[in-house]
Amino acid sequence: MLDSILNQNINANIYEIIIADGMSYDGTRRIIRNYQNCNNNIKIIDNTDKIVSIGFNKALTIAKGDVIIRVDGHTKLDTDFINNCLNALYKMQVDCVGGVTKHIGRRIIGSSINIAQSSSFGSGGASFRKNITKGEFVNTVAFGAYKRSVFLDIGGYDEELKRNQDDEFNFRLIQNGGKIWLDPFIKSSYYTRSSFLKLFKQYFQYGYYKVRVFQKRGGIASIRQIVPFIFTFSLIILTSIYLFTGNYKLLLLTIGSYMILSLSTTLIKIFSKHNSPILSVFLLPVAFIIMHLSYGMGMLAGFIFFINKWQDREVKDNSFNSNYFSENVS
């Protein structure tokens, strides 16, 4: 990830790299210090809370640039990523730009997860996961580049959200009249989870914290965000009906319809051109059901756990010092 930021086709002296480290003990800090020996524009700060939104806000506070770009640890940027972000940001006169993210999976299971997340059936057709050829206005992007003024206007990331903090922020931006542009020339790669257990945990948390996004923003940004919950909740209701009445027809219809869609998508992938191992494609139905049920179960748990928070719409960004940020301009 760090190499891809340093190897941009742009003068490295005009941007800084701030790394919020979650107190890692796997040698990450030693590696970063080695990079610092050769690059004066790299800073590392402690994220003792080990929460992405808090680490981002701390890094944001000390940032000096006119443009703020979030990059995650599992990401690799195209060599023209920053250049293309800057060009699109000012050419389109928008508040945020992002690009197409290519998913990469390691080994058989990782490749299966990659295909599932990149498919419309798996992820609901998020624009930044598609191979688009024309730019478009969207409601969210991955690894967005923002004008500095955006954070002064609407605040930082909401620190209550361990997941979906970027989705909530982008939704908040749009609700405040901002515009987000997806540009096909802005490209990056994202390395997916490598096990089904990690995939389950990831999507359970996505569903769980998505409820707080709904509550804080007073609505949903896209219908696709609640489809897995509707599917999961329907299975629970229809299973209960079957257990109490013996009527299994609607349950069978729901499961059968899902299986048809899942297997149809799998067959299309089998006969399409792809670079993934064939076994990874055959595992697609497993990846699909884990993604959808874990997300739906997480959202159900969120609706229960956050049941008393529908009136709590306060953005909690205490680690972002907006006064220091407004003065700390290069």
How much is the pTM?
A: 0.91
Residue in 58, 149, 153, 65 with CA at minimum distance from that of residue 329: 65
Structure tokens at 29: 């800090």
How is residue 128 annotated by DSSP? G
Whole-number Å distance between alpha carbons of 231 and 216 = 24
Does residue 305 carry a pLDDT above 70?
A: yes
Collapsing DSSP to helix, strand or coil, 180 comes out as strand
Q: What is the reported pLDDT for 273?
A: 61
Tokens 């939704």 map to which residue? 171
Interstrand relation of 42-46 and 17-21 (parallel, antiparallel or unpaired)? parallel
Write down the domain spans for the chain. Answer: 2-222+313-327
* 188 in Cβ contact with 72 (< 8 Å): no
Average pLDDT over residues 112-124: 85
pLDDT 10s digits, 172-231:
999 999 999 999 999 998 888 889 999 999 999 999 999 999 999 999 888 888 999 999
Q: Which CATH architecture has domain 2-222+313-327?
A: Alpha-Beta Complex (3.90)
pLDDT 10s digits, 314-326:
999 999 999 999 8
Does residue 26 carry a pLDDT above 80?
A: no
- Mean pLDDT (the chain) is 90
Per-residue pLDDT band at 311 (split at 50, 70, 90):
very high
H-state helical runs in the chain: 2-6, 28-36, 52-62, 81-91, 107-118, 120-123, 148-154, 165-175, 196-217, 227-245, 249-271, 278-282, 284-305, 322-327
Per-residue pLDDT band at 276 (split at 50, 70, 90):
low
Per-residue pLDDT band at 103 (split at 50, 70, 90):
confident
